[in-house]
Amino acid sequence: MNMIDTRRSAAIIDGRARARKVLEDVKSQARKWKAKSGVVPGIAVVIVGDNPASAIYVASKEKTAKECGFHSRIETRPATASTSEILDLLGELNVAPDIHGILVQLPLPTHIDAGKVIQAISPGKDVDGFHFVNVGRLATGAVDGAIVPCTPAGAILLIGDILGPDLSGRRAVVLGRSNIVGKPMANLLLAANATVTVAHSRSHDLAALCREADILVAAVGRPELVRGHWIKPGAVVIDVGINRVQTGEGRRAGLVGDVAFEEAQSVAGAITPVPGGVGPMTIAMLMANTLNAAIRGGMG
Ligand SMILES: Nc1nc(=O)c2c([nH]1)NC[C@@H]1CN(c3ccc(C(=O)N[C@@H](CCC(=O)O)C(=O)O)cc3)C=[N+]21
């Protein structure tokens, strides 16, 4: 029998509860803004083709938008739609007075030029924060004017709840260098004064890099890649992965993150679960971005 129990247990970060709080704020601010200006925030979600995962996410976004008192519009196009048809649609939405936020659900069918589509969204309505103008604002530290991508925006809120807004002296490691999560996450951590390393599939000795991290953000889309012994004791671990796995592989069936949760939980100081962590925050931040876009009146 172990006389000394060295096991510890991380705080499990409740992303659903935090998202609810964000949404309550959004809802009350939207009500005030409507009373003052007569404007109801409006979001348009463009969905191309019939990706079943996309359909679920879009339904969830619409439901949350309604809960916030927003106007919402879903524009569905067949998988056979051309790039120019989508560009025409965006041209319409860009000038629609009742629409303040536009989101084109990714991934798009491969024959569509996703880069062109993203850059065709008016930066002031780009509630995903993927347009060059918003990317550039965030990267140059003009964070207040930027529309920040929803997942990193949600993650930095969760980190701030635990560590406070100033991350001076903290080592952060971001696993993954996507334009959607890894890069904007690194920029937000930098803006909060953290010392940031971005690691990815071509990095050497990921485990050793991760063990340096006071803040570890995993966003690589590899089920349970991050093991318990990769984690620095007491670290804040943010798991952005949403991986659907089958039963019978010696791991939990259903949804798993990029972090082996049970192992990590005995080492980390705080950790986000999957589901119930970063996912709900993503949708909440989308509503916050839409409200802010409405208040700014689609400027810039
Ligand atoms: N233009 C664009 N913007 C996006 O923000 C975007 C996108 N395209 N394409 C797909 C990804 C994925 N994404 C998620 C949002 C919420 C949850 C979420 O709420 N997940 C819940 C439940 C997940 C479940 O049960 O399936 C959770 O983690 O607890 C997950 C994933 C937004 N995405």
Domains of the chain: 38-129 (3.40.50.10860), 149-279 (3.40.50.720)
Task: Decide if pLDDT at 2 tops 80.
Answer: no
Pairwise pLDDT comparison (250 vs 2), residue with the higher score: 250
Residue 50, judged by CB atoms within 10 A of its CB (0-12, 13-18, 19+), counts as: exposed
Tokens coding 279: 């996912």
pLDDT digits (tens, 9 = 90+) for 103-159: 999 999 999 999 999 999 999 999 999 999 999 999 998 877 899 999 999 999 999
What mean pLDDT do residues 270-286 have?
98
Label each residue of 100-112 as H, E or C: CEEEECCCCCCCC
Among 13, 48, 57, 259, residue to substitute to test ligand 1 (most atoms within 8 Å of Cβ): 57
Residue nearest to atom 25 of ligand 1 (CA): 275
Q: pLDDT confidence of 175, banded at 50, 70, 90?
A: very high
The position carrying tokens 């890894």 is: 182
Record the tokens describing residue 231, joined without a space.
């984690």
What does the block give as tokens for 85? 């048809």
Task: Kindly calculate the radius of gyration of the chain based on its CA atoms and give it in whole angstroms.
Answer: 20
Amino acid present at 138: L
The pLDDT confidence band at residue 49, using thresholds 50, 70 and 90, is very high
Among 242, 256, 289, name the best residue to mutate to test ligand 1's pocket (greatest count of ligand atoms within 8 A of Cβ): 242
Single out the residue of 174, 167, 283 nearest to residue 237, CA to CA. Answer: 174
Neighbours of 28 (CB within 10 A): 12
Residues enclosing ligand 1, CB less than 6 A?
A: 57, 103-106, 128, 150, 242, 255, 274-276, 279-280, 282-283
Global pTM reads 0.95
Q: Is 16 marked within a binding site?
A: no
Atom 30, ligand 1: residue with shortest CA distance: 279
Q: Is residue 178 very low, low, confident or very high in pLDDT (cuts 50, 70, 90)?
A: very high
Angle of helix 150-163 relative to helix 182-191, nearest 10 degrees, comes to 40
Q: Which of 48, 282, 290 to mutate to test the pocket of ligand 1 (most atoms within 8 A of CB)?
A: 282
Cis preceding-peptide flag for 52 (omega within 30 of 0) = no
Q: Is the peptide bond before 275 cis (omega within 30 degrees of 0)?
A: yes
Give residue 120's pLDDT: 98
Nearest to 264 by CA among 277, 249, 246: 277
- At position 119, the amino acid (one-letter code) is Q
144 vs 21, residue with greater confidence: 21
Distances in Å between the alpha carbon of 149 and those of 24, 127, 138, 269?
A: 20, 7, 10, 26
Looking at the annotation, which residues are catalytic? 61, 105, 128
Atom of ligand 1 nearest to the CA of 16: 29
Check: CB of residue 207 under 8 Å from CB of residue 230. Answer: yes
Does 86 belong to an annotated binding site? no
State the number of CA atoms in the 13 A half-sphere of 119 facing the CB: 6
**How far is 174 from 172, CA to CA, in rounded Å?**
7
Q: Identify which of 16, 7, 18, 290 has the alpha carbon closest to the alpha carbon of residue 159.
A: 18
Average pLDDT over residues 19-35: 98
The ligand 1 atom at the shortest distance from the C-alpha of residue 286 is: 5
Specify whether the CB–CB gap between 290 and 70 falls below 8 A. Answer: yes
CA of 57 to the centre of ligand 1 (A): 6
Confidence at residue 6, expressed as pLDDT on a 0 to 100 scale: 60
